[in-house]
Structure 1
Amino acid sequence: MDTNIIIENRFINQKLAPITWLDSPEDIVAHFGAMQAQNYGQALWTVGSRLITPNELAVKTAINEGRIIRTWLLRGTIHLFAAKDYHWMMDLIAPKIDKICQPYRTKLGLTNEVLLKASEVVRGFTSNGPVTRKNLAEHLAQNQLPSAGIPFAQLLVYLSSRKIICSGPDETYQNTLHIPAATRDYSRSEAIGELAKRYVQSHAPATLKDFCFWSGLSVADAKIGLAQFPKYGDFFTTELTKNPVTLETIPLAGFDEWIIGYRDRSIVLDEVWHEEIITKNGIFRPAIISAGKVVGKWEKPKKLNDLEADYWKRYIQFRSML
């Protein structure tokens, strides 16, 4: 498939084209299924850059009110996803998280006894409302449970995958009782199909390898999910656009789906920019794209005067820097 066709269609499906912007943070997240979000501040702009009216407070409010969940999901990393998708996504992905994390848990001494005790302790501790990471660690320490370093982090991942905790207001943790009950019971194959649908509608054109990387599913499962879509060469997609759009210059957030959402990033990330944008320890820095390709990197500005180019206008509006 021609590179320009790929970039143009991704630009539309990723909701980066002005004609595709949405007015609700949760609608954007639901369109993607899940959006990488380990850097909280950058994750806000990941969503905000796709809003009709970019507003940081609107994204924070959607997270704080529980309409968007921020916790460990695909590939065992932190993502944003809609509360209405919480149960079927967690049920599908939790076994994958266990498979990734089990060797670390064994090595760290996180036995079933420890995990079950921690589950009961944290369930009780969060019953009265959200708690900070510091307060949660202190409470675990008081109960002779892991409270620092990698053991603590692995324990949090476990508690999240067991639907005991998730994100709370202002980067806290809370129990999951506020999340609405599932409105539909998905079979495993139906959940795989729905996850594939979200991926293709938000990332296409994309390959089998791209979907396997993004979802963390096996090749066999990924093929089941993608079977519902037409294929052009190696690329699965929905109907290709016949109406060209202007590829705006955009400052993307770190870990933005435009780059991290694919196994093969060479279409938008030239080799000269690879080490500038992706660090050796897997951190994806904020990037500037023009005509869909990375042309620079950037850091959060300290003052308005640092943002002179026209393409910063929406970011300025988002951060209320006027």
Structure 2
Amino acid sequence: MPAALTPARLRLARMHAQLLAGPPAAGVVGAVRGAAALQAQDLKASKLAVRARTSGLALADVRRAVAEERSVIRTWAMRGTLHMIPTADAGWIVDLFGPVVLPRFRQRRIDLGLDDDLCERAVRALPDLLASGRPQTRPGVVAGLRESGVPVPADGQAPFHLLLFAALRGVVCRGPDTDAGEATYVLLRDWAGAWEPRDTDAALAKLARRHVSGYGPVGPEDFAVWSGLPAGQVRRAWDLVSPSLAEVATDSGSAWALREVADAFPSPRSRPAVRLLGPYDGYLLGYKERAWALPPESARRILPGGGVIHPAVLADGEVVARWRWRGDAVVIEPFAPLSEEAMAGVAAEVEDIGRFLGIRATMDVAVG
């Protein structure tokens, strides 16, 4: 086995794997597939995640990919959370995660007045209700179901959990948000087309390989945390993909990367690779531990609790600052003074975020 990767090279290798350094992704689909998937419960954050992994795209390009080209969609997958995934992968991903996630929420559905029979009736009614192809808001879907004789509770969390059930059964997915930012829903088959069922082993192997490609070097414990799959499926997935992996030594133990990249990890250069990540970026969601990228003494500034992940500034893969909006100004809050080269990279990123969003973004640096 080659000499152990230093922490600096490990961080940079993972930054390259996430397409946050090195050659950018080719378009929106390339960014989404290259990162294995993009967290998308916050649509604005997922758009910033595309920006950080591409070059020259604008916000309109992401909107077009979602609403017109339909080349990427949002649905519930890894860990039962909303992700942006390539439309071509929707079938096998939903088929894999539906049977895993749905049982976890059964008691919650029952507590909300959504027993198994009611959920099945709703699933049978949704294709006719959404047959027009016009995206429907959540209240619109619920009203349509109630009018068709399916008495879905209209208040609280019941509508969300019903649509989550339908999405994980492969019936619906999220459509483009309205201009006011309200969620809509469409028939998955209308947006993704029909798909042939993929056997579970093939889906597990493909998912594990995509995680290693998009996050590596990693270990099976990282894949388990990122995917949320049961331990038995994690072991099976890792066994299936292992022949295509190479073991890599790190300061904290062994990790694995695809064989074709294991001998070509980049080394830090004099000018650091800098990226501004939006909230909930996958770079901080794909591993069991985060201390390799996020210094423990600064962790609470990015991870305050309650599942919140604040926007972060990366320099050669290490989180060195938090950032936030103040009007059209990007306020940088460094954990420690940044080098001149790093600040130049931050300034370039702020300018590019403004270009992407179609605004003139300025930069302020918070002191203290």
State the TM-score, normalized to the length of structure 1: 0.92
User: Larger strand proportion, structure 1 or 2?
Assistant: 2
After superposition, the C-alpha distances for 1:7-48 in whole angstroms (9 at most, x for unaligned) are 11111111011x320231012112233221100111111112
Aligned residues: 320
Q: Tell me what 2:338 maps to.
A: none
Matches within 5 A, 1:94-133: 94-128=98-132, 129-133=134-138
Q: Tell me what 2:39 maps to.
A: 36
Q: Which amino acid aligns with 2:151?
A: Q
Q: Tell me what 2:365 maps to.
A: none
Q: Higher mean Cα deviation, 208-217 or 185-194?
A: 185-194
- Pick from 26, 43, 50: which aligns with 1:47? 50
| Contact persistence 2:280–2:308 (CA under 8 A) | yes
Structure 1 residues 299 and 139, CA gap change in structure 2 (3 angstroms): farther
User: Larger helix proportion, structure 1 or 2?
Assistant: 1
CA apart distance, 1:138: 3.4
Q: Which runs of 5+ in 2 are unaligned?
A: 178-182, 333-345, 361-368
Q: Tell me what 1:235 maps to.
A: 255
CA distance in 2: counterparts of 1:245 and 1:139, whole angstroms: 57
CA apart distance, 1:130: 0.9
Q: Higher mean Cα deviation, 20-29 or 101-110?
A: 101-110
CA distance in 2: counterparts of 1:56 and 1:145, whole angstroms: 36
- Pick from 259, 264, 289: which aligns with 2:314? 289
After superposition, the C-alpha distances for 1:199-228 in whole angstroms (9 at most, x for unaligned) are 000100112111001111223322332323
| Contact persistence 1:70–1:78 (CA under 8 A) | yes
Q: Tell me what 1:79 maps to.
A: 83
Matches within 5 A, 1:301-320: 301-303=326-328, 309-320=347-358
Q: Tell me what 1:151 maps to.
A: 158
Q: CA RMSD in A?
A: 2.1
Tell me the SS of whatever aligns to 2:93.
helix
Q: Which amino acid aligns with 1:57?
A: A
CA distance in 1: counterparts of 2:157 and 2:323, whole angstroms: 30
2:140 corresponds to 1:135: yes
CA apart distance, 1:318: 0.9
Q: Tell me what 1:213 maps to.
A: 225
Q: Tell me what 2:267 maps to.
A: 244
CA distance in 2: counterparts of 1:140 and 1:317, whole angstroms: 43
CA distance in 2: counterparts of 1:311 and 1:32, whole angstroms: 19
After superposition, the C-alpha distances for 1:209-267 in whole angstroms (9 at most, x for unaligned) are 11001111223322332323222243111233244255422210111111111111111
State the TM-score, normalized to the length of structure 2: 0.81
Q: Tell me what 1:25 maps to.
A: 28
CA apart distance, 1:3: 1.1
CA distance in 2: counterparts of 1:245 and 1:21, whole angstroms: 18
Q: Which runs of 5+ in 1 are unaligned?
A: none
